[in-house]
């Protein structure tokens, strides 16, 4: 499991510093021991300060999960940075953003930190606690309680400001110090002379009480555990006796009181209840520590050690208790290929490899393979071949056209099965800046990450999940990759058509659209090269021959007017290049015209109108069709396949729906009797720009959907 230790030590990374500062810090040695202990338990561990950047750090370390996938967890040892109810700050943030964590929630921490509220609850529950009063100001009337008394801040921990007072003057002095230092009311309670007994608790419903621990004070002074004692500044020696030298009846009573106090305040997972034992054998609860110290010499660990739990065992036991509280079982069930059903195994295989999947994606983004980069493309093909043959798939020579397209198939063959189609080139201009891989909480960035890399990694791990169950070889499946998407699949189209004709269904590994959408219909796209050549003209000289550039602009405007939203046709100019002689106007203009269309007959009609609008009496012109990407028609088979995938996604509560798209893909090459869905890859945005990115959660979600979809076909 991924575990983030969240603590407060040095950071003051907040918007403003004001209010009551935290004077309680966790030691670096304890943080290191926690990290090592959790790693010993097999967890992946990081440690963060609990400041204003906490959510982003945690989300980057353990991003959103899908239904059924166990999220990471926070091991919370944070005391807060400033303000009231400091212990509640980090748990409240974690509650808000939906991150499981070890130890009590905000409510229990707030009750335990408020010593007056704690004592009121204890009294209400019939649990013994010393008589008390509250002073709201330094000049408040003194309570009618017999000396000696204890004074301490109402809302602090670890014995801050704790002091025994024996008369009115000492009380006034102690109260004045607390008000000036902590700016809060003062709790005054009867001082119980006797012994200090601590009982640690671990677990829930009910918690297990550890053996009572007695704190022994060596040296002068009252037998109370002060802040100076805890920080080694008192000059006294403090030792622990465990189990406390008390009879069985007192032991049982102390543990019973501790459990009841734990339950009364609504604590979770762990706590330490501090008590006093007077000479008459009466126990009194002083306070409940909802975040017991895990320092090396703390009484909580002393009690745990006595029952056979060292530091690592104690820490990992707390993780298991929190896991059981959140998820119902302390640990995920062990996967056994013989006893776990294939869908569960596939789910576990993919979700337990999040970091591995993202690291593989990083590796792929470091391989630059723009459409015009033969070396990068050759290396990409080599790696894909290595990956697929390593999974037991074999090349299909008759469906391979090096250097444009390559096909592999399982032992069962492609015929009548599923064909997965993707491209390895990044269809952008080679001058576009290369983007290095980086992570954000919700998005992953990198070169070609959305257009080709994320779909490729999704494919790999879906196939690996099936191979782990020895199912891949039984599946009729083919994989085709091509390398000329940036050239409109001009050279690979024939091979792609031939492979698609053998399949029963085709899944095109283009990126999914933002909004968790897959594609069942795409427009076709035609590119034309419009070349116009006329006479070189001097600027300002009258001529019966029209200026070439002006004439081209007029025709481009007439082309644009052929666009129709109703007919879903658009005609646009993409770029213009001019040629001219020195001191003369352009005499040659070349323009790329882009037409998108839903139907070939309609495209032919629009093209005819374009040609008929060109005047033969003007400059010489040529309108040449450069490429034609046929549309992906929305057939019933496509919609049925998309809805089947949506039903699979719904089982894992993964959002998925289908739509149509303006942009073309090789899905337009699919024969009429073959079902096809495009955009099966992870959701991406800003394709073809320096900000291209893929949604992190979608990387796992789409891999799951792809694997489960293939598994369903195997069942058929």
pLDDT at residue 23 in the model:
67
**Whole-angstrom Cα distance, residue 193 to residue 189?**
12
pLDDT in tens, 115-134: 899 999 999 999 999 999 99
Which fold, 344-522+632-715? Aminopeptidase (3.40.630)
Closest CA to 160 of 170, 168, 169, 150: 150
- Does 716 have pLDDT greater than 70? no
Are 460 and 387 in contact, with CB atoms under 8 Å apart? Answer: yes
| 25 contacts 82 by C-beta, under 8 angstroms | no
Confidence grade of residue 335 (pLDDT, cut at 50, 70, 90):
very low
Q: Are 667 and 497 in contact (CB under 8 A)?
A: no
Give the pLDDT mean for 166-172: 87
Of residues 639 and 328, more confidently modeled: 639
Positive or negative torsion for Cα 410, 650, 685, 446: negative
Distance CA 453, CA 434 (A): 14
Burial class of residue 11 (count of CB atoms within 10 Å of its CB; 0-12, 13-18, 19+): middle
CB of 518 closer than 8 Å to CB of 680: yes
Q: In three state form, how does the secondary structure of 26-92 look?
A: CCHHHHHHHHHHHHHCCCEEEEEECCCCHHHHHHHHCCCCCCCCCCCEEEEECCCCECCCHHHHHHH
Please give the CATH number for the structural domain made up of 111-130+192-327.
Answer: 3.30.470.20
The closest alpha carbon to 480, from 392, 387, 409, belongs to 409
Any idea what the Cα angle at residue 155 is, between residues 153 and 156, rounded to 5°? 70
User: What is the mean pLDDT of the segment spanning 238-255?
Assistant: 94
pLDDT at 340 > cutoff 80: no
What pLDDT sits at residue 336? 46
Q: Are the beta carbons of 635 and 596 closer than 8 angstroms? A: no
| pLDDT band per the 50, 70, 90 thresholds, residue 695 | very high
H helices present in 151-243, as ranges: 168-182, 227-230
Q: Of 154-168, 216-230, 301-315, where does the model show the most confidence? A: 301-315
Residue showing tokens 């983030």: 4
Residue 332 pLDDT > 50, yes or no? no
- pLDDT, tens only, 280-297: 999 999 999 999 999 887
Q: What's the start-to-end Cα distance of the chain, in Å? A: 35
pLDDT surpasses 60 at 650: yes
CB 197 within 8 A of CB 246: yes
As a three-state string, the secondary structure of 496-526 is: HHHHHHHCCEEEECCEEECCCEEEEEECEEE
Percent of the chain with pLDDT over 90: 70
Scanning 231-297, the segments in alpha helix (DSSP H) are 248-265
Phi-psi region of 190 (alpha: psi -120 to 50; beta: other; left: phi over 0): beta
According to the model, what pLDDT value does residue 181 have?
A: 79
Is the pLDDT at 586 greater than 80, yes or no?
yes
pLDDT (0 to 100) of residue 337: 44
Average pLDDT over residues 288-310: 92
Q: What is the pLDDT of residue 348?
A: 87
- Asked if the model's pLDDT at residue 234 lies above 60, the reply is no
Q: Tell me the mean pLDDT in the region 257-286.
A: 96
- The domain locations on the chain are 2-101, 111-130+192-327, 344-522+632-715, 524-629
Rounded Cα gap, residues 401 and 492, in angstroms: 7
Q: Does domain 524-629 have CATH number 3.30.70.520?
A: no
Q: Would the CATH topology of 111-130+192-327 be identical to that of 344-522+632-715?
A: no
The predicted structure's pLDDT at residue 22: 66
On average, the pLDDT of the chain sits at 90
In this predicted model, which residue has the larger pLDDT, 440 or 639?
Answer: 639
What pLDDT is attached to residue 402? 92
Whole-structure pTM value: 0.77
Rounded to a whole number of angstroms, the CA Rg of the chain reads: 36
Could you say which DSSP state residue 625 is in? E
Residue-wise pLDDT for 599-638, tens only, equals 999 999 999 999 999 977 789 999 999 999 999 998 999 9
C-alpha 710/C-alpha 474 separation (Å) is 11
- Assign a CATH topology to domain 2-101: Rossmann fold (3.40.50)
Structure confidence at residue 249 as a pLDDT band (50, 70, 90): very high
pLDDT at residue 246, rounded to an integer: 95
Q: Kindly tell me if the per-residue pLDDT of 363 is higher than 60.
A: yes
Residue 211 banded pLDDT, cuts 50, 70, 90: very high
In Å, what is the CA distance from 80 to each residue of 21, 46, 157, 623?
A: 9, 19, 12, 71
pLDDT of residue 221: 66
What is residue 135's DSSP assignment? E
Closest by CA position to 87, among listed 106, 114, 115: 106
For residue 223, give every residue at least 6 positions away whose Cβ sits within 8 Å of its Cβ, in sequence order, or none: 193, 194, 195, 196, 217
Please give the pLDDT value at position 258.
97
User: Region 191-204: what's the mean pLDDT?
Assistant: 94
Q: Is residue 77 pLDDT above 90, yes or no? A: yes
Would you state the pLDDT for residue 19? 64
Least confident of 156-165, 207-216, 377-386: 156-165
| Range ranked top by mean pLDDT from 64-78, 139-153, 494-508 | 494-508
Mean pLDDT of 549-577: 95
Please give the pLDDT value at position 334: 47
DSSP state, residue 452 = I
pLDDT score of 697: 93
Tokens 């090349």 locate to 395
Say how far apart CA 204 and CA 325 lie, in whole Å: 8
Write out pLDDT tens, residues 478-500. Answer: 999 999 999 999 999 999 999 99
> 């009429």: which residue's tokens?
672
Higher pLDDT pick, 234 / 659: 659
Predicted local distance difference test score (pLDDT) of residue 311: 95
Does the pLDDT of residue 153 top 90, yes or no?
A: no
Spatial CB neighbours of 311, under 8 Å, sequence gap ≥ 6? 33, 37, 294, 296, 301
Q: What is the pLDDT of residue 86?
A: 86
């Amino acid at each position: 499991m991924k575990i983030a230790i969240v603590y407060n030590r040095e950071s003051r990374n907040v918007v403003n510093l004001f209010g009551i500062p935290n004077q309680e810090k966790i030691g670096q040695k304890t943080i290191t021991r926690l990290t090592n202990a959790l790693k010993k338990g097999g967890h992946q561990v990081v440690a963060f300060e609990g400041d204003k950047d906490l959510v982003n750090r945690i989300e980057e370390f353990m991003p959103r999960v899908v239904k059924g996938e166990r999220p990471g967890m926070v091991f919370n040892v944070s005391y807060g940075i400033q303000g009231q109810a400091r212990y509640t700050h980090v748990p409240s943030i974690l509650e808000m953003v939906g991150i499981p964590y070890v130890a009590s929630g905000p409510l229990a921490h707030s009750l335990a930190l408020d010593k007056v509220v704690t004592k009121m609850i204890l009294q209400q529950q019939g649990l013994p606690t010393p008589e008390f009063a509250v002073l709201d100001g330094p000049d408040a009337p003194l309570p009618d309680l017999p000396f000696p008394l204890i004074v301490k801040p109402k809302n602090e921990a670890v014995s801050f400001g704790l002091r025994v007072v024996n008369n009115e003057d000492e009380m006034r002095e102690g109260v004045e110090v607390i008000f000036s230092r902590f700016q809060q009311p003062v709790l005054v309670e009867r001082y119980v002379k006797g012994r200090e007994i601590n009982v640690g608790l671990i677990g829930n419903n009910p918690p297990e009480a550890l053996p009572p621990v007695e704190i022994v004070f060596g040296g002068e002074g009252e037998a109370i555990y002060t802040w100076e004692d805890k920080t080694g500044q008192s000059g006294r020696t403090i030792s622990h006796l465990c189990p406390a030298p008390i009879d069985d009846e007192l032991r049982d009573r102390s543990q019973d009181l501790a459990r009841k106090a734990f339950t009364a305040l609504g604590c979770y997972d762990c706590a330490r209840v501090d008590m006093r034992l007077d000479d008459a054998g009466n126990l009194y609860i002083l306070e409940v520590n909802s975040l017991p110290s895990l320092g090396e010499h703390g009484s909580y660990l002393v009690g745990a050690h006595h029952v056979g739990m060292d530091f690592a065992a104690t820490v990992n036991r707390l993780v298991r208790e929190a896991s059981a509280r959140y998820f119902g079982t302390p640990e995920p069930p062990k996967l056994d290929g013989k006893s776990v059903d294939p869908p569960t195994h596939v789910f576990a295989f993919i979700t337990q490899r999040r970091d591995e999947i993202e690291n593989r994606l990083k590796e792929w983004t470091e391989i630059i393979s723009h459409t015009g980069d033969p070396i990068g493309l050759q290396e990409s093909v080599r790696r894909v071949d290595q990956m697929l043959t390593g999974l037991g798939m074999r090349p299909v020579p008759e469906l391979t056209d090096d250097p444009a397209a390559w096909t592999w198939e399982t032992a069962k063959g492609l015929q009548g099965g599923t064909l997965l189609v993707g491209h390895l080139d990044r269809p952008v201009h080679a001058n576009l800046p290369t983007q290095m891989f980086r992570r954000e909480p919700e998005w992953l960035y990198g070169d070609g990450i959305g257009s080709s890399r994320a779909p490729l990694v999704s494919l790999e791990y879906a196939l690996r999940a099936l191979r782990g169950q020895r199912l891949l070889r039984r599946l009729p499946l083919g994989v085709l990759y091509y390398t000329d998407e940036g050239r409109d699949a001009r050279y690979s189209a024939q091979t792609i058509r031939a492979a698609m004709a053998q399949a029963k269904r085709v899944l095109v590994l283009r990126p999914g659209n933002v909004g968790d959408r897959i594609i069942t219909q795409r427009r076709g796209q035609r590119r034309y090269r419009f070349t116009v050549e006329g006479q070189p003209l001097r600027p300002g000289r009258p001529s019966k021959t029209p200026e070439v550039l002006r004439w081209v602009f007029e025709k481009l405007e007439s082309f644009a007017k052929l666009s129709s939203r109703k007919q879903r046709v658009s005609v646009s100019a993409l770029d213009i290049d001019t040629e001219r002689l020195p001191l003369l106007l352009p005499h040659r203009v070349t323009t790329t015209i882009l037409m998108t269309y839903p139907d070939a007959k309609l495209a032919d009609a629009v093209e005819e109108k374009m040609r008929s609008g060109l005047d033969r009496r003007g400059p010489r012109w040529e309108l040449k069709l450069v490429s034609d990407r046929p549309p992906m028609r929305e057939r019933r088979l496509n919609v049925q396949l998309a809805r089947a995938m949506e039903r699979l996604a719904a089982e894992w509560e993964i959002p998925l729906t289908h739509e149509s798209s303006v942009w073309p893909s090789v899905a337009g090459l699919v024969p009429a009797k073959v079902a096809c869905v495009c955009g099966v890859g992870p959701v991406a945005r800003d394709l073809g720009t320096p900000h291209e990115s893929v949604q992190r959660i979608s990387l796992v979600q789409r891999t799951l959907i792809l694997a489960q979809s293939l598994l369903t076909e195997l069942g058929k």
